Amino acid sequence: MSGSERLALLGGSPVINAPFADYKSMGEAEEAAVKRVVQSGCLSGFFGSPGPEFGGGPEVQAFEREWSERFGIKHTVSVNSATSGLYAACGAIGLSPGDEVIVPPWTMSATVAAPIFYGGIPVFADIEDETFCIDPGQVEKQVTDKTKAIICVNLFGHPAKLHELRALADRHGIYLIEDNAQSPLGSEDGKPTGTIGHIGIYSLNFHKHIHTGEGGMCVTDNDDLATRLKLIRNHGENCTDMLDGGPITNMVGMNLRMTEMSASVGRVQLSNADAHVEARERIAQRLTDGLQGLDGLSPPVTRDGCRHNFYVWMMKVDEAALGVSRALFSDALAAEGFPHATGYVAPLYRLPLFQKRIAIGRDAWPFTLTERTYDDIACPVTEDMHENRALLFEPCAYDLSDEDIDRMIKAVKKVHAGRDQLNARKSTGT
Ligand SMILES: Cc1ncc(COP(=O)(O)O)c(C=O)c1O
């Protein structure tokens, strides 16, 4: 939208008249770490065969040790992305063709695509209205004798109902995988997100709170799952002796390995994780506090006992109470310079992958293994949230002062106060 259009919406200058500064995530310590690795000449310490180099070089191994210590978990297996981690997790639990995996429809696509590589059938369960995470009550309804796992997502930085989901998984003898890509320092009842499921996956891609450009971490307290994750990461077909005679299912490995440079950057990022995450939590808290009590707008809430990391700050719009459409409100907010989006991703069961039931190969495997179709899925909370209610801002993208945040609050209040004017302009077409 151009500057002149902006002025036409509510008049006056935009409250925020210059773009916010990008968040600076890399500093001198990261630069020194990369230099140290380059000077060492060892950019990767992995070999894809049995022996001391099966687990990677010194930076990778130190990073994994430090990650385990930080999160109080027995094993950490680094990978080159959270997508790789989700794939490895599906393989490690022994996911087999035709097994069902219960997933939320409102997440990044990798959450629901990962099971497909092993022939898993994603089964969608709706989200909760308050936190946008998968609803345990809806999960329970989807459990069948084919269910092998639940993949929950700690969406936008807020924990799903993790202890409840773990109890549900244990009751049914299935696995809980936490997609913790967006919530590195979240917690529920004092326990870190990522460590409550059987396996937790973190993303270190460059949008995230802490990052290595691309990267991911898998954590587990289970020795066997840890070994299987490592085998899938690194040409496991050569090393199945490590399983001591256990089943070799899914042990055809890939190269999902992290480089020494990435690990060296990750170690620095991890040591400063508190500061990085707290910076985003501070922005979100000030924004939330400043926007209480406005009819039709509900800033995000944090469930009791939880820590929310605010990868995304998501406000809910109630068009009836607001008296103006979300689209018009959003246009006016954009004209005031407030960077945001409406909705998140369209419910994932709408993807051609599911609507056409075509995944891998000419025969559209693995959908040939199920009667399930995806055209009559009922996830009304997700639909309503995406189509009508969600309005999001990304605290991880910007470096904001208190004054910047106060201008964001002022922009919302200006648009909120100008709702009648917006409607009047809309009806006269001006
Ligand atoms: C919830 C979720 N899961 C998985 C991923 C995939 O992460 P990566 O880019 O590290 O593969 C993302 C990335 O944005 C994500 O947000």
Query: Per-residue pLDDT for 149 more than 90?
Result: yes
8 to 13, 210, 332, 428: CA distances (angstroms): 10, 40, 9, 13
**Ligand 1 closest atom vs CA 311:** 16
Closest CA to 199 of 172, 223, 215, 171: 223
Query: Per-residue pLDDT for 5 more than 50?
Result: no
Model pTM score? 0.97
Tens of pLDDT, residue by residue over 405-424, are 999 999 999 999 999 999 88
pLDDT of residue 12: 81
Q: Is residue 278 part of a domain?
A: no
- Determine if ligand 1 sits within 6 Å of the CB of residue 179: yes
Q: Is residue 421 part of a domain?
A: no
Confidence of residue 11 (pLDDT cuts 50, 70, 90): confident
**Ligand 1 closest atom vs CA 86:** 4
Whose Cα sits closest to atom 8 in ligand 1?
Answer: 82
- Determine if ligand 1 sits within 6 Å of the CB of residue 83: yes
Q: Which two tokens stand for residue 191?
A: 């326990």
Tokens 């590195």 belong to 184
What letter does residue 398 receive in the DSSP assignment? B
Query: Per-residue pLDDT for 4 more than 70?
Result: no
Confidence of residue 352 (pLDDT cuts 50, 70, 90): very high
Tens of pLDDT, residue by residue over 24-38, are 999 999 999 999 999
- Determine if ligand 1 sits within 6 Å of the CB of residue 205: yes
Residue 156 Cα to ligand 1 middle (Å): 11
Which of the listed residues 86, 193, 205 should we mutate to test ligand 1's pocket, taking the one with most ligand atoms within 8 A of CB? 205
- Determine if ligand 1 sits within 6 Å of the CB of residue 249: no
**Ligand 1 closest atom vs CA 110:** 4
- Determine if ligand 1 sits within 6 Å of the CB of residue 154: no
Residue 82 Cα to ligand 1 middle (Å): 5
Closest CA to 414 of 16, 73, 109: 16
Q: Is residue 173 part of a domain?
A: yes
Query: Per-residue pLDDT for 182 more than 60?
Result: yes
Task: Give the total number of structural domains in the chain.
Answer: 1
Q: Is residue 253 part of a domain?
A: yes
Give the percent of the chain with pLDDT over 90.
Answer: 94
- Determine if ligand 1 sits within 6 Å of the CB of residue 180: no
Which of the listed residues 134, 154, 155, 182 should we mutate to test ligand 1's pocket, taking the one with most ligand atoms within 8 A of CB? 182
- Find all residues with CB under 8 Å of 403, minimum gap 6, and list them: none
**310 close to 157: Cβ distance less than 8 angstroms:** yes
Whose Cα sits closest to atom 9 in ligand 1?
Answer: 205
- Determine if ligand 1 sits within 6 Å of the CB of residue 178: no
Q: Is residue 251 part of a domain?
A: yes
Among left, alpha and beta (phi > 0; psi -120 to 50; other), residue 4 is: alpha
- Per DSSP, the three-state class of 274 is helix
Residue 364 Cα to ligand 1 middle (Å): 25
Mean pLDDT, rounded, for 183-192: 98
Q: Is residue 168 part of a domain?
A: yes
Mean pLDDT, rounded, for 166-193: 98
Distance CA 54, CA 62 (A): 14
Residue 201 Cα to ligand 1 middle (Å): 9
Q: Is residue 349 part of a domain?
A: no
Q: Which two tokens stand for residue 267?
A: 């170690």
Query: Per-residue pLDDT for 349 more than 60?
Result: yes
Mean pLDDT, rounded, for 8-22: 86
Query: Per-residue pLDDT for 227 more than 80?
Result: yes
**392 close to 412: Cβ distance less than 8 angstroms:** no
pLDDT of residue 3: 42
DSSP string, 38-98: HHHT-S----SSSSGGGG--HHHHHHHHHHHHHHT-SEEEEES-HHHHHHHHHHHTT--TT
Tens of pLDDT, residue by residue over 304-335, are 999 999 999 999 999 999 999 999 999 999 99
Query: Per-residue pLDDT for 428 more than 90?
Result: no
Confidence of residue 96 (pLDDT cuts 50, 70, 90): very high
Residue-number span of the structural domain to which 177 is assigned: 28-272
pLDDT of residue 363: 87
- Find all residues with CB under 8 Å of 128, minimum gap 6, and list them: 134, 135, 161, 381
Give the CATH number of the domain where residue 82 resides.
3.40.640.10
Task: Report the amino acid identity of residue 28.
Answer: E
Mean pLDDT, rounded, for 228-254: 96
Average pLDDT of the chain? Answer: 96
Distance CA 396, CA 51 (A): 40
pLDDT of residue 430: 64
- Determine if ligand 1 sits within 6 Å of the CB of residue 261: no
Tens of pLDDT, residue by residue over 264-316, are 999 999 999 999 999 999 999 999 999 999 999 999 999 999 999 999 999 99
Tens of pLDDT, residue by residue over 112-128, are 999 999 999 999 999 99
Mean pLDDT, rounded, for 356-367: 93
Whose Cα sits closest to atom 14 in ligand 1?
Answer: 108
Half-sphere exposure of 124 (CA within 13 A, CB side): 26
Considering Cα of 395, then 398, then 402, then 405, what sign does the dihedral take?
negative
Considering Cα of 164, then 169, then 170, then 176, what sign does the dihedral take?
negative
Query: Per-residue pLDDT for 6 more than 70?
Result: no
Q: Which two tokens stand for residue 322?
A: 């607001």
